[in-house]
Structure 1
Amino acid sequence: MLSMFKRLVMIAVVLAAASAGLAHAQVASPSQAQRKTSTPYTGDLSIFDSPGREDRLQINRVMDILGIGPGKNVADIGAGSGWFTVRAARRVTETGLVYAVDINPEAIRFIENRAEREHLHNVRPILSKADDPLLPANSVDAVLLLKTYHEVEKPVILLRNLRASLRAGAEIGIIDRNGNGENHGVGKNVVVREAAEAGYVLTAQYDFVKGDGMDYFLVFALKP
């Protein structure tokens, strides 16, 4: 009888441990949970140079807010055709640098050719990893992810890997549109939450980047 009781106790302990392990496995942290993302664009890169885009996004105002000026180093993450890269390169002048970061080899070749054609010698294309921009340490004063964040599969890891490249006082801008992740947009609150998990604090937010009310511009800095 005593032996049977011991066996029942042991079975109960094993079942309790298994149940606790299952419950722990089911409660994933925000960084582990996979949210929906959009498929990265791999089509005709020239579409990003549509007439009037500069005015619609008020990109000069964006650069003012991010402190992009002569002598600054800038990272354009998800650079695509280099639309923002070349504008930032002219703004920082030859005394600054712009790192054009993209995971698409075709985009990198496109930007290399564009920079050469436009005589911009301060552009440094980087073929990055999906979760790591591969920027040099302590190298950038400002970062912009322009309509790119919704395509990032592991945004928290990417933002964490970005941290080592940031100089003191660096600002990180994210321009995107509200959406569900897979419709080429992602909710503003999702971006703020993921950035906080990666060690950033929201310092400013704007809605002037397009008149339809769908786009937003968020500015982050490293948490103190």
Structure 2
Amino acid sequence: MDVLGIKAGSSVADVGAGSGWFTVRAAKRVGSNGLVYAVEINSEYLKHIDKRSKEENLSNIRTILGKEDDPLLPEKSVDAVLLLKTYHEISEPVRWLRRMRSAMREGALLGIIDRTGKGDDHGIDPDTVVKEAQRAGFVLVEQHDFVRPDEVDYFLVFRVG
């Protein structure tokens, strides 16, 4: 979260939120003056996140049933976006990234954590992600290979160009 500048009062999107692992952690970090959008295309995951946010008394989580080609986030609504092992599932990434841009505030960061696909085909080469993001108007600002020493996980950070 530090890499993406997520702090108290931030507005964050967890795209491909799944069970809400990152959503809940981000909600605790941004606090009552911040907001976390949990975006999913699977409504069952969103029901789980809604239930969990009530159980943990986290009133700063909003769930959004996105589309495969559009996260459906409000325009200029977020300071940071995280896609945690989700990017490789997007069928039209350049179009999707362009739509994501409209939801990002000035100076917002986009973080993509994914797998290279080495050893299996469940992932995407980081060079491909960088090229697609550049075509959508993003600039790579940081790259981390800290996730695992096996060279199959990476973390890319982009800013709107």
Residue matched to 2:76: 138
Determine helix, strand or coil for the equivalent of 1:153.
coil
Distance in 2 between the 1:93 and 1:184 partners?
34
1:20-99 matches, within 5 Å, as: 63-99=1-37
Q: CA deviation at 1:160?
A: 0.4
Cα RMSD, aligned residues only: 1.1
Q: Which of residues 105, 109, 113 is equivalent to 1:175?
A: 113
More helix by share: 1
What SS does the aligned partner of 2:155 have? Answer: strand
Deviation (angstroms), 1:153: 1.0
Cα distance in 2 between the residues matched to 1:127 and 1:141: 20
Secondary structure, aligned partner of 1:79: coil
Q: Counterparts in 2 of 1:145-164, with a 5 A limit? A: 145-164=83-102
SS at match of 2:101: helix
Gaps of 5+ in 1: 1-62
State the 4+ residue runs in structure 1 displaced beyond 4 angstroms.
Answer: none
Please tell me whether Structure 1 or Structure 2 has the larger radius of gyration of its CA atoms. 1
SS of corresponding position for 1:190: helix
Q: Percent identity?
A: 59
TM-score for the superposition, normalised by structure 2? 0.96
**Structure 1 position 109 matched with structure 2 position 59:** no
In 1, Cα distance between equivalents of 2:60 and 2:10: 11
Cα distance in 2 for residues equivalent to 1:132 and 1:173? 17
Q: Distance in 2 between matches of 1:213 and 1:116?
A: 38
After superposing the two structures, state which structure 1 stretch, 63-72 or 112-121, moved more. Answer: 112-121
Matched, 1:123 2:61: yes
For 1:197, the equivalent position in structure 2 comes to 135
Structure with bigger strand share is 2
In 2, the alpha carbon distance for the partners of 1:211 and 1:125 equals: 34
User: In the TM superposition, what is the alpha-carbon distance from 1:211 to its structure 2 partner?
Assistant: 2.7
Q: Deviations for 1:75-126, whole angstroms, at most 9, x for unmatched residues?
A: 0000000000000000000110000000011111111111111111100000
Q: Quote the offset at 1:210 in angstroms.
A: 2.0
The residue aligned with 2:155 is 217
Provide the TM-score with structure 1 as the length reference.
0.70
* Cα distance in 1, alignment partners of residues 155 and 63 from structure 2: 24
Q: Deviations over 1:44-70 (max 9, x none)?
A: xxxxxxxxxxxxxxxxxxx00100000
Equivalent pairs counted in the alignment come to 160
